[in-house]
Structure 1
């Protein structure tokens, strides 16, 4: 249902047009163009999420040199494509991609404590909470 492609000269602009809902802007304040620039200049991997020929979202991930784990830095489904299962399928494909590309044993991500939708999705996919601060919940998926 979802395919993943690297963000290239052919699809980067379409990714910059992806937006969260108004309510989600508090949870996801940085626009897609920020994440694409950071990925390009900070050694991160940026991926477009496609449903057939439509870009429905994007993801950014990288290895953390301090803990040597792969982290999903950003994951977003455009407001026009939400509530259609693309978030779940997209995250499943992203996890497979990272695991298969890098043979990693752990993938981590963070989300805001008040982002219940993300918390439920990540927990249902096997990400367990390993730490929480006032600003962020850290979750981990282990393949060990």
Structure 2
């Protein structure tokens, strides 16, 4: 596994998606065998536009290069039909460009997002994933997420304690 770029202090960071980095963010492509597991960035940005109070889209940037995309959600009503007061925060989407996978960018993004969620006063972070071939399940389990037994559509839901 390659180390993260450490050539410049604080070179790895999450940045808001802006007019300046929009094209680079939209150009992010996961590996072909992963394409059925995660929505394209442009769909995520459309969802962020629709869910402006809950979605938190960010470019993952190393130095001057956009290497991925993460979108978190905060205080999102989980299932209003069952319990309109049941709110959750977590990682909604993670896309690491195929050229940059295996370098620690995904781990960095999950940690940065969960730190932001913790800073916003939440003690658990949620994520969901598709199971099967090329699933990110081992990645999320390795970061400490534990399945809740719930499904979100056809995706397994997991939770990480942040305390």
TM-score range, shorter chain: 0.7 to 0.9
Q: Which runs of 5+ in 1 are unaligned?
A: none
Instruction: Identify the residue that residue 141 of structure 2 maps to in structure 1.
Output: 123
Q: 1:5 maps to which residue?
A: 15
Retained in 2: the 8 A contact 1:69–1:108?
yes
- Which structure has the highest strand share of the two? 2
Alignment-derived partner of residue 7 in structure 2: none
- CA drift of 1:115 comes to 5.6
Aligned alpha-carbon RMSD (Å): 1.8
How far, CA to CA, are the matches of 2:51 and 2:93 in structure 1?
14
Q: Deviations over 1:82-121 (max 9, x none)?
A: 1112111221122112222x12111101000126552122
Show the counterpart of 2:56. 45
Contact 2:13 2:62 (8 Å CA) reproduced: yes
- Normalised by the length of structure 1, the TM-score is 0.88
The CA distance in 1 between the partners of 2:87 and 2:133, in whole Å, is: 26
* Structure 2: 5+ residue stretches without partners: 5-11, 79-85
Task: Give, in whole Å, the separation in 2 of the partners of 1:115 and 1:105.
Answer: 31
Could you list the structure 1 runs, at least 4 aligned residues long, displaced by more than 3 angstroms after superposition: none
Q: Which has the larger radius of gyration?
A: 2
Give the total of aligned pairs: 142
TM-score by length of 2: 0.79
Contact 2:44 2:71 in 1 (8 A): yes
